[in-house]
Amino acid sequence: MNAFLWAVVTAGVWGLVPLMEKTGLAGPIPPALGVMVRSLGVVIGLLLFGWPWLAGDALRTLSWRSMLLLAGGGFLASFVGQLAFYQALKTGALSQVTPVAGAYPLVAALLGWVLLREPLSGPRLLGVGFVVLGVALLRR
């Protein structure tokens, strides 16, 4: 499968999951507990699918820098970001919270442009503008 099809699969999965999570957070469940239980699903996935796919020497090829960046990204996205998302999801409308939280590609695109010196072409700039417009419309 090419990158575009993988991205479509990702969008489908990430579109379904907030519905499951909003429903799962119903009642007196604190968002932090929701993140802990969700993380259990990640651990189960890693044990069932991650380790068997990992080649024996692959872990030794990672540099300390790569390990720190990947682990830091995991902490920020899967703990800090997920906790903030669950706080918003617990009290907000799924149809409003999810698209606003899902505007993270805008942040990534801007950081890629500024920090990684990636090109910001006309179509990319237009896409970023549409994301900003969409978030502004959902805020109302």
Same structural domain, 132 and 110: yes
Cα dihedral 26/30/32/37 (nearest 10): -50
Average pLDDT over residues 95-117: 86
Cα dihedral 8/12/17/23 (nearest 10): 160
Same structural domain, 32 and 76: yes
Cβ atoms 97, 119 nearer than 8 A: no
Same structural domain, 88 and 40: yes
For the stretch 47-71, pLDDT in tens is 888 777 776 677 778 889 998 999 9
For the stretch 21-57, pLDDT in tens is 999 999 999 999 999 999 999 999 888 887 777 766 7
Same structural domain, 9 and 37: yes
- Our count of domains for the chain comes to 2
Instruction: State how far the Cα of 136 lies from the Cα of 140, in Å rounded to an integer.
Output: 7
Q: Which amino acid is at 12?
A: G
